[in-house]
């Protein structure tokens, strides 16, 4: 089931962005950033109460018009019709952001196939359900930007959370393939690899959290990368160098580490 909230006044001509996973954290911060930069917004999330509150705030500020749609990213079958509806309501599409995802607490003693499958279903399969048709539309238009929120967790298979690592590794590789297909057609594809971010997801996890940044800082980094048409952006930027080092740790050494 999908529902939506439309603004009371018609949208004015402006840049148009869709964010899937926009009710809180990075998605909400990106919505606010893009609103300030002049984008009309279509925001999607399971949590319609929080999404409606965000859209009401954005619309009240008068700087943009924001539309709210209820959507569960594991409901793959509704994506084609919902995408057509969202684009019709916005009047077009210039920027698409997939930010939805879950990270279930891992167990170090036993594996949970159910949890791993659930994370892959939301984080990877849910992304593919949107990215494939959006990519085709932008290819036909020969313009547009696709932003996928992956993670530093996808850069190496760690002991801590195999399912989450795999879902983000899949996301990173899929975005790379899209980039290779679409760049020649004028479409920009950006892979975002956050480290630790002060969100509800992080607060629910255990362990040390070095170089934690705010969602607002990450949104600024992402928008700067969009403007510069970068291929990949790490946020906090120090993670680029940390992950470069981690990727070069020999497997015989890496498997002995406890993270």
Secondary structure class of 95 (helix, strand, coil): strand
* Strand bridging mode 15-20 / 39-45: parallel
According to DSSP, residue 21 is labeled: S
Of residues 69, 164, 174, 234, which has the active-site annotation? 164
Which among 121, 125, 145, 189 is positioned nearest to 18, based on CA atoms?
145
Query: Of 40, 83, 78, nearest to 62 (Cα)?
Result: 40
Residue located via tokens 């279509």? 42
What is the rounded distance in angstroms from the CA atom of residue 126 to the CA atom of residue 130? 7
Cα–Cα distance, 171 to 230 (Å, whole number):
17
- Give which of 95, 37, 87 is closest to 67, Cα–Cα: 87
222, 240 in Cβ contact below 8 A?
no
φ, ψ dihedrals at 160, nearest 5°: -70, -45
Residue 164: active-site member: yes
Q: Which two tokens stand for residue 93?
A: 């599409």
Q: Catalytic amino acids?
A: 164
């Amino acid at each position: 089931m999908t529902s939506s909230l439309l603004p009371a006044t018609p949208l004015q001509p402006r840049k148009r962005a869709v964010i899937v996973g926009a009710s809180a954290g990075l998605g909400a911060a990106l919505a606010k950033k893009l609103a300030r930069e002049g984008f009309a917004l279509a925001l999607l999330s399971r949590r319609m109460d929080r999404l409606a509150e965000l859209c009401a705030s954005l619309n009240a500020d008068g700087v943009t018009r924001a539309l709210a749609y209820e959507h569960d990213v594991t409901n793959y079958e509704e994506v084609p019709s919902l995408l057509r509806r969202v684009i019709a309501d916005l009047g077009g599409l210039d920027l698409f952001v997939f930010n939805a995802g879950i990270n279930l607490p891992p167990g170090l003693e036993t594996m949970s196939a159910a949890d791993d499958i659930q994370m892959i279903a939301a984080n990877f399969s849910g992304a593919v359900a949107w990215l494939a048709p959006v990519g085709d539309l932008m290819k036909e238009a020969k313009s547009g930007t696709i932003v996928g929120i992956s993670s530093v967790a996808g850069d190496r298979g760690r002991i801590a959370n195999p399912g989450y690592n795999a879902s983000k590794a899949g996301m990173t590789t899929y975005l790379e393939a899209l980039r290779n297909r679409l760049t020649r057609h004028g479409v920009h594809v950006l892979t975002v690899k956050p480290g630790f971010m002060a969100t509800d997801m992080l607060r629910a996890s255990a362990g040390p959290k070095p170089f934690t940044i705010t969602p607002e800082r990450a949104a600024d980094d992402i928008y700067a990368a969009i403007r510069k048409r970068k291929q990949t952006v790490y946020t906090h930027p120090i993670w680029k160098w940390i992950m470069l080092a981690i990727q070069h740790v020999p497997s015989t050494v890496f498997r002995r580490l406890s993270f």
